[in-house]
Chain A
Amino acid sequence: MPFQRTTARDAARRHKFLTETFTAYLYLLPATAVLVTFHFAPVLYAFYVSLLEWNYISPNPAFVGFANYAALLQDSDFITSLVNTVYYVVGTVPTSMAAALLVAVLLNQKIRGLAWYRTVYFLPVITAANAVAIIWFWIYHPDYSGLLNGLLDRLGLPIQSWLLDPRWAMPCIILMSIWKGLGYNVVIFLAGLQNISSEYYEAAQIDGAKGLSMFRHITWPLLSPTTFFVLIISVIGSFQVFSQVYVMTRGGPLKSTLVVVYYLYKIGFEDFKMGYASAMAYALFIIIFTLTLLQRKYIGSRVHYQ
């Protein structure tokens, strides 16, 4: 009898386990279906396409193996776009992070109108790139009527043609991008700052620590997981810069703002060289992936987790 009871209980348990597993998978299904359909499948398909010479509509694409990847190394425009992208990343990431950290620390104080300030800093992030571009076109207008040139002129300095000048176009895009993306990093830094227990500051205060040394010895080390996270996503995001270039300069003047993703878009969706564009996407993926691994290895080890 006990024998039979055990199997009955086992069966019930197994039944319960199966239903629970089934239910769990059922819950996972919608998200999995979306991810597989719109992320994993296209990613794999893009790799297959990167081995083809294909205009997107031709019924018989030619299989070319890794020829598209080999062509990338010979393509001076691709090299230019890589150099420009690195310029952009170096121009935006450190400045943007430093500025965001400063603003976050300030917004972490008990000041009047805090909610208002936080909203104002976040507004550019959610404003459409096209709307932002219109404002910045006024700022960067190449003649005396431009805001920036008006300022230079008043100071007695020679005016510049900004977005029309190959030397200035990228700095202009960088400045605008820092302004636009600042609020996002501020929010993450703020969350990180508020995670730091006030006990540390109270203890340090008792020991006689002052503002700057408190920041150096408490805030900075305890904030390092957040800082590291912001660094990683900023580098990834900056390597994928697109909309600012698309709306402001279209890669010009003279390819001075031609960045990888804009070039990829142009090849893929204006020239319809799908195989080549997909190969470029994979090349960019490999670059970003390698950089992220390197950052984890060399910077990640210095992160201080609570």
Chain B
Amino acid sequence: MNRAIAGVITLGLLVVLLAGVAPASAAPKVTITFWHGMGSALGKTIDKLVQEFQKGNPDIIVKAEYQGNYGALNQKIMAALAAKKPPTMAQAYGNWVAEYVKSAAVKPVQEFFAGPDGLSKEEIEDFWPQLRAGCTFDGKMYTLPFNKSVAIYIHNLTALKEAGLAPPSTWEELLTASKATTVVKDGKITRHGMVLRPNVDYFANLLLTNGGRYLDETGRKAVFNGPEGVEALQFMVDMLHKYKVAYYIPGYADADFGAGKTCGYFASSASYSYTDKAVGDKFEWGIGPIPYKKGPAAPVAGTDLVMFGSATPEEQEAAWKFMKWLTSPAQTVYWAINTGYIPVRKSALDLKEMKEWMAANPRNAASLNALKFAVTDPNVAEWQDIREIISQAVEEAFLAKVTPKEALDKAVEKVNALLAK
């Protein structure tokens, strides 16, 4: 009997206890979804950041979901938008965002700046201006810069030392180094000084370091067929066919570099982990800025954070909190150190962790020093088509079908027709 009474009392207490606790823990939890395209090591870093955020924000559940490569990510976002079930937020390239903005699917981050949990003018200006420009459409900031990388020149230090050369910093030196590191055995080239890719990014590296640009100040007229562009393309074609110190492949070059087939290539600073894996401890390698002719420039690639308009106000508030946190100086440093992407905030470079890490990793510091010269792609919705047109011109010149001048003239004509539509 006593036992039964004790049991009832215990149960009763439990109910009271639970009832007392329940309202507190049932404080409405908000779930937000974050779609990204960061595989392997990069994805793990995202997961770690999410865990860290949740520790400080137990009332927000962040579901970070890997959607495959960038192409797949954009396809899934488009399909989800068409089905009116987009994620709360996602990674997106500027030209994708241009398309989403045209269809009124985006919640501009600018609308949160003035809010209670907003960003001050100083904080906004702490984002690199070039990156902010990439997030701005019609004068309004729609997205926040997130995983941004700069173009870098990766080289085989062992081979350069054997040739008695320092890492090249100009086109001239790059050509000299490539000649010196190309190895010919029995009339066959067994190692090239450089590998190229027939695409717009390789062309961009040389165009921009030669003082050229894609479009004029109106943004509606192509000018990359000027002498700067022609020289840039000619330089690559000469490396391939005149000096025979380079070859080209359509895919990523890290495997060839690791296998010792080439002593140098251009890549993005985020490819650090891939190169590291490909090389292992076979030889010593280094990272430098893209060699220049007129002046240094570092083309920027990578995506921004976009929030979609269909989420509830609570979800949007939560997503904003997460976006703001992800791009805060402390987190952008963590992100940069672990991935090879660049810190998106200027003040991040002054943080102790960043300075210590740069001192300990001089190789990676090179890409950060290139940040001052960062150049972003034009922010036009036609950008993907323009990239393809330029890539085609580069390939035609590589195959020696036409001269660099002819290839670029034709491409400019096509781009201008596209922009005039």
Contact = CB atoms under 8 A, between A and B. Distances in A.
Interface of A: 55-59, 142-144, 163-166, 250, 252-255, 269-272
B396 interface: yes
A56 B249 contact: no
B249 A57 contact: no
A57 B75 contact: no
B212 to A, nearest CB: 24
Nearest to A60: B103
B218 interface: no
B399 A59 contact: no
B20 interface: no
A56 B399 contact: no
Contacts of B99: 55, 57, 272
A5 to B, nearest CB: 61
Contact of A253 (B104, B198, B261): B198
30 contacts: A55-B102, A56-B78, A56-B79, A56-B81, A57-B78, A57-B82, A57-B100, A57-B103, A57-B105, A58-B102, A142-B247, A142-B249, A143-B247, A143-B261, A164-B249, A164-B250, A165-B399, A166-B399, A250-B250, A252-B250, A253-B198, A253-B395, A254-B392, A254-B395, A254-B396, A254-B399, A254-B401, A270-B384, A271-B384, A272-B99
A250 B392 CA distance: 12
Given A55-B102, A253-B399, A270 B78 contact: no
Contacts of A144: 188
Contacts of B105: 57
Contacts of A142: 247, 249
B56 interface: no
Interface in B196-254: 198, 247-250
A57 to B, nearest CB: 4
B28 interface: no
Contacts of A56: 78-79, 81-82
Contacts of A255: 392
B276 interface: no
Interface string B97-130: 0011011110000000000000000000000000
Interface in B268-326: none
Contact of A271 (B79, B385, B392): B385
Contacts of A166: 399
Given A57-B82, A59-B104, A252 B395 contact: yes
Contacts of B392: 254-255
Contacts of B250: 163-164, 250, 252-253
Contacts of A252: 250, 395
Nearest to B80: A57
Interface string B171-199: 00000000000000000100000000010
Nearest to A255: B392
Contacts of A269: 75
Contacts of A253: 198, 250, 395, 399
Nearest to B189: A143
Give me the 4 closest cross-chain CB pairs, A-B, nearest first: A57-B81, A58-B103, A57-B103, A56-B78
Contacts of B71: 270
Contacts of A165: 399
B95 to A, nearest CB: 11
A144 B261 CA distance: 11
Contacts of B249: 142, 164
